[in-house]
Amino acid sequence: MIKSIRVASFLSGLFTLMIATLTGCNSLQDSQVNSFSMTSNRLSRQAMQSRRFETSDMTLLLKAIIAVLQDQNYIIRESNSKLGVIFADKTTQEKRPTVLWGNPVDMFEAGIPAPGFGIGWGGFDGPSFGLGGFGDVPYITRRQTSISVVITPALQSKGFVVKFLIQNRNFLNTGALQSAWIVKEPEVYQQLFNALSHTVYLEAYPL
Amino acid sequence: MKSLLSLFILTGFLMGCSFKPDANLMVSSMPPTQMRTLQTRQFSQTDQALVLEAVIKTLSSLDFMILKVDEQDGLIEAIQVANDHIVQVNVVSTPIGNKGSSIRINGRFDQSPINSWQAYQRFFEALSHNLS
């Protein structure tokens, strides 16, 4: 009786592991396919990321965009006026965490388990409890913001379409990547387009 | 006996899973000819500038950031950062005389090479739309 229970338990464990492995494999493939798919989320974001500018001078537009990015402390890494491409980034230092007994204690918002003592909610890792002595705990030390600009001729009217894409990456003090995401707040893109409109003295038309 | 059988089946499934990162970066899990077929399509557009414009527009619409453009070599490097994953791609456009252009894309999803034909197919579908 006990032997048959053990065998059943082993087989069910094996089955669960097999399903988990296959699911993991499929989810990786799905993620890869999703990276190259025109999803509804991507389509809906196009409108907030793009504006049409009524000018026939691509170089003027490109220089205005570079000026706007420089105003925002971005470093221009790539610029191609013929194909209408700009890539820039900037790094910002995150606030140093409060340290108690050699460990940061105020990283609740960053999704890092709170060391030191007390109970904390660690985002990805669930609740954590400790009384100190955890050793070195990683914390977010810098954020890299990258911005990609693509300028294409407007298809059904004169002028050019400017598209901004902003992505953020948080890095830990160990140098490892902690998180990466696309900036989806419309006001961030709106501010960039407003600044660009002022710089080129042109009206920006929503698509 | 049943346990052993299950173990064999599990091992078979695990070996069949081809999305593990290669230990040796110089060795791909797929034959080079098969990989090239998977990653390459031919288009009738002969103007290389128009082809590169369409590739840039396609990548941009798929949330890729264009890192570098080399017009002379027809090479574009782009990166996509989303949901804590990083996807890096290279697109190379090569003219085929006056018949059109050959476009090859290869990519990495975090540390794994992208071997999914569906992923490349989706890219070429979007590119066809921008090249027509």
Distance CA A51, CA A49 (A): 7
CATH, residue B67: 3.30.310.80
Q: Nearest CA to CA, how far is B99 from chain A (Å)?
A: 23
B23: in domain? no
Which amino acid type is present at position A197? Answer: S
B43: in domain? yes
At B31-90, the pLDDT tens digits run: 888 889 999 999 999 999 999 999 999 999 999 999 999 999 999 999 999 878 899 999
Of B60, B84, B114, nearest to A179 by CB-CB distance is B84
B128 touching A (Cβ < 8 Å): no
Q: Nearest CA to CA, how far is B95 from chain A (Å)?
A: 18
Q: Looking at residue B59, what DSSP letter applies?
A: H
Distance CA A163, CA B95 (A): 28
Contacts of A18 in chain B (CB under 8 A): 6, 9-10, 13
**pLDDT tens, chain A, 207 aa long:** 556 656 565 555 555 555 545 555 567 788 889 899 989 999 999 999 999 998 888 998 999 999 999 999 999 999 999 999 999 999 998 876 666 666 666 554 444 444 444 334 334 444 444 444 444 678 889 999 999 999 999 988 889 999 999 999 999 988 888 899 999 999 999 999 999 998 887 656 666
Query: What domain range includes position B40?
Result: 30-131
A14 by Cβ neighbours in 10 Å (0-12 / 13-18 / 19+) ranks as: middle
Over residues B11-30, mean pLDDT: 54
Q: B106 with B77: CB under 8 angstroms?
A: no
Of A11, A32, A152, nearest to B114 by CB-CB distance is A32
Choice between B28 and A156, residue whose per-residue pLDDT is larger: A156
Q: Which two tokens stand for residue A142?
A: 């810098």
Number of domains in chain B: 1
pTM of the model: 0.75
Q: A169 with A155: CB under 8 angstroms?
A: no
Question: What mean pLDDT, rounded, does chain B reach?
Answer: 84
ipTM value of the model?
A: 0.76
